[in-house]
Amino acid sequence: MFSFTDPEFVRNPYPQLAELRAESGPVWHEESQLFLAAKYKDANQVLRTRTLGRIFSPRTPSADWETFNYLHSDSILDSEPPKHTRLRSLVTKAFNPKRIEELRPNVERITEELLDQIAQKSAGQGHFDLIADFAEPLPVMVISELLGFPKSDEYLLRPWSQAIVKMYEPSPTDQEKAEARQASNEFASYVHQLMVERQKNPGSDLISELALVEEQGEKLSATELIATCVLLLNAGHEASVNGFGNGMVAALERPEQLAMLNSDPLGLAGTAVDEFLRFDAPLHLFERTATEDTEIGGVVVPEGKKIAALLGSANRDADIFENPDEMDLTRSPNPHIGFGAGIHFCIGAPLARMEMTTALPLLITSHPNLTLVGEPVRRPTFVLRGYESVKVTS
């Protein structure tokens, strides 16, 4: 059985994931102590089965991990009903499709600003970094504006986020654990200060609205509000950065797909973004815990044991997708589960999709001759799959 930390597996997990899908059902993975659901039908069932809960196990000693723990236990992502129902209801009153669509002009403006900066940089260097100069700053700037973070502090957010999300990988090092604790403390303290300010002087930002939102007498507690803001930043931009970067690299490596995108960037934006998310998923593993003995794909997951939906594997399942190992930017329908499914379907999915479908045609129109410069540099992680650097020229 493969190891999640094997550099060769991280570089290209798909051949071994295909071998997993050839099994009759979920397979026990001794190293991670997880059942692995690799087939689409099994992974989808894992995400939708109520006896498989998203149950957060607090890290110990609790005094060292206090902030990290509440950022998860009080978030939508790591809660189950009835708490999850209450949190999601409150958050979606402020963070809803209407609010997201109203952000589109901001996304267009920020994209144009980044493209102007890229034009200046390219004029001097002859190339730019698709991740550092475009895919990474765009969603961070969008969510920063949404939450009302001062522009001068935007540079703090991505490092905090990257330190925290390294804890989602199978075997974080002691240094990564220490960095995650520090980032959690600093990020939570920063958001708490903003929350206190907005409670006294509310604005039109999302923190102000979350502080005021109420339903049937229920409001978000301070830790729930902080956890929500941190989750929106972390989950909200990781999917966009990695989904966009993974998809663009795959398209740049396939001239016929890139030519098709160049021929109609606006018309193809919707199907292209969904294919980006399917073909090389930004999130590969989402784990759940059995609250009672639960059967998935003919395999019983005993109470207390964990099972992981392998989203990237599910999105390459030939039972669901024709020619699954080929990129097709016109693919439709495309029922990928890159954003999850069930009650934990990503709350930030509409924002991520809107960002990517807005930014992609603007990028392609301004740079119709994008070409890779050298070999893209992968992040050394499996669960959150993406690139550290993608040098391109136009």
Query: Rounded distance, CA 187 to CA 199, Å?
Result: 18
Query: Rounded distance, CA 353 to CA 355, Å?
Result: 5
Query: Rounded distance, CA 74 to CA 259, Å?
Result: 46
Query: Rounded distance, CA 306 to CA 236, Å?
Result: 25
Tokens 């607090």 correspond to 58
User: And the tokens for 360?
Assistant: 């992609």
Is 211 in contact with 198 (CB distance < 8 Å)?
yes
**Widest Cα–Cα separation across the chain:** 61
Query: Rounded distance, CA 253 to CA 137, Å?
Result: 23
Number of residues assigned to the chain: 394
Active site residues: 235, 238, 240, 346, 355
The alpha carbon of 322 is separated from its chain's Cα centroid by a whole number of angstroms, namely 25
Instruction: Kindly tell me the number of DSSP H helices and DSSP E strands found in the chain.
Output: 16, 12
DSSP state of 208: H
Query: Rounded distance, CA 203 to CA 195, Å?
Result: 11
Q: How many CB atoms lie within 10 A of CB 6?
A: 12
Secondary structure of residue 117 in the 3-state scheme: helix
- Decide: residue 71, CB within 10 A, 0-12 exposed, 13-18 middle, 19+ buried: buried
Residue 192, CA distances (Å) to 199, 225, 258, 342, 360 in order: 11, 9, 44, 31, 34
